[in-house]
């Protein structure tokens, strides 16, 4: 008679399962950074493509009108036609060259930003103006009470890219009838896109390939409340449309404590991004380069975040006196006569 044996069921012991799970966890921990890095690389490439599209649109505008678009155009309000007030910006002017004809055709360029007829344009977000590494910029909010009327179902859209104003902050100046102050402020803006600008390529004597046109500016570093009111895509307000080189790239990281205590405005003056180590910049010749946040810049040395020697005139215009500009400042000026080597940035 054949002996019988108790059959053992196939399977894993608890220890074997724990070993397998541990190995899988180690592999995931090793692979996850690589996956995240690959995703960020893809987002960075898309950001570069966005800036190239915008720079090309600005170049096409320049071909048509023989100058780069105005950074901000003061316009008259239908509520008070005698007064010039906040208008639209450079990005609205280039919309026909970046597949934005719908928004361009809706906007009434003879009236102010907040007039009822222009409120609808607030909702015309354009993906080309949104960096994929800045997810907060794609979140819309209810229209602000600034608009004289609020069309139903229209939400405010935002953007991640801003124009090169120059070395320092410049106020939103709409009173162009004040010729003295208007000329003073115009002269202080050393960049390409600023108040009522019309910069011709011939005036960029530092070279188109050595002068910033655009940069990234993170929307997501603003507080939840500030995100509602800053970076309106169609607004020419000073903190919506521009950057300057007064503070270093990614100042929200380099000057965190000072910004949290007093220098909140550095967030809306600085170039910034979520790309590790710097930010993407478009130059006047249409090229796009990644500028490291370690680039040389002038020293900030007072409680208000001003570089040494900075002073302001009666109209709010500035001079930087005996400050020593770095390569970062040199790249923002169109006719500073600096000699910049490619290996310096």
Mean pLDDT along residues 75-92: 86
So where are the chain's domains? 39-344
Task: Work out whether strand 212-216 and strand 278-283 pair parallel, antiparallel, or are unpaired.
Answer: antiparallel
Return the pLDDT at 193: 97
Q: Are 169 and 269 in contact (CB under 8 A)?
A: yes
Q: Are 144 and 237 in contact (CB under 8 A)?
A: no
Long-range CB contact pairs, 140-143, < 8 A, 24+ = 141/227, 141/228, 142/228, 143/119
* pLDDT at 212 > cutoff 80: yes
**Alpha-carbon gap, residue 72 to 89, rounded angstroms:** 4
* Ranges 20-34, 113-127, 130-144: which has the least confidence: 20-34
pLDDT in tens, 38-62: 788 889 999 999 999 999 999 999 9
Q: Which helix (H) or strand (E) holds 261?
A: helix 256-261
State the average pLDDT for the chain.
Answer: 89
Among candidate residues 323, 344, 116, 119, the one with its CA nearest the CA of residue 232: 119
Q: pTM (2 decimals)?
A: 0.88
Return the pLDDT at 35: 61
* Ranges 12-21, 156-165, 220-229, 244-253: which has the least confidence: 12-21
Task: Work out whether strand 161-166 and strand 242-244 pair parallel, antiparallel, or are unpaired.
Answer: parallel
Q: How far apart are the first and last CA of the chain?
A: 89
Please count the other Cβ atoms lying within 10 Å of the Cβ belonging to residue 159: 26
Residue that is written with structure tokens 């966890």 in the block: 25
Mean pLDDT along residues 93-101: 95
Return the pLDDT at 95: 97
Residue 301: pLDDT band (50, 70, 90) is confident
Q: Are 292 and 278 in contact (CB under 8 A)?
A: yes
Q: Assign 63 to helix, strand or coil.
A: helix
């Amino acid at each position: 008679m054949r002996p019988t044996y108790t059959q053992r069921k196939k399977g894993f012991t608890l220890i074997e399962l724990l070993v397998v799970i541990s190995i899988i966890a180690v592999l995931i921990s090793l692979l996850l950074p690589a996956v995240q890095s690959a995703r960020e690389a893809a987002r960075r490439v898309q950001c570069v493509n966005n800036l190239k599209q915008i720079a090309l649109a600005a170049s096409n505008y320049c071909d048509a009108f023989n100058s780069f678009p105005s950074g901000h155009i003061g316009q008259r309000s239908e509520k008070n036609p005698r007064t010039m007030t906040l208008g639209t910006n450079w990005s609205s002017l280039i919309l026909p060259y970046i597949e934005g004809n719908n928004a361009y055709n809706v906007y009434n360029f003879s009236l102010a930003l907040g007039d009822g007829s222009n409120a609808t344009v607030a909702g015309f977000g354009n993906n080309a103006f949104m960096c994929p590494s800045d997810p907060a910029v794609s979140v819309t909010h209810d229209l602000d009470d600034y608009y004289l009327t609020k069309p139903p179902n229209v939400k405010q859209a935002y953007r991640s890219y801003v124009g090169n104003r120059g070395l320092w902050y410049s106020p939103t100046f709409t009173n162009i009838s004040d010729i003295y102050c208007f000329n003073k402020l115009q002269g202080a803006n050393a960049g390409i896109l600023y108040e009522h600008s019309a910069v011709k390529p011939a005036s960029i004597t530092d070279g188109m390939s050595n002068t910033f046109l655009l940069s990234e500016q993170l929307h997501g570093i603003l507080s939840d409340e500030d995100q509602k009111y800053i970076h309106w895509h169609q607004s020419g307000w000073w903190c919506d449309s521009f950057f300057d080189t007064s503070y270093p790239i990614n100042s929200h990281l380099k000057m965190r404590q000072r910004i949290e205590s007093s220098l909140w405005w550095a967030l809306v003056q600085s170039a910034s991004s979520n790309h590790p180590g710097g930010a993407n910049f478009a130059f006047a010749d249409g090229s796009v380069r990644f500028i490291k946040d370690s680039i040389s810049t002038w020293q900030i040395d007072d409680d208000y975040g001003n570089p040494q020697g900075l002073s302001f005139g009666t109209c709010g215009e500035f001079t930087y006196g005996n400050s020593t500009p770095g390569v970062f400042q040199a790249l923002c000026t169109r006719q500073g006569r600096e000699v910049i080597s490619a290996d310096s940035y």
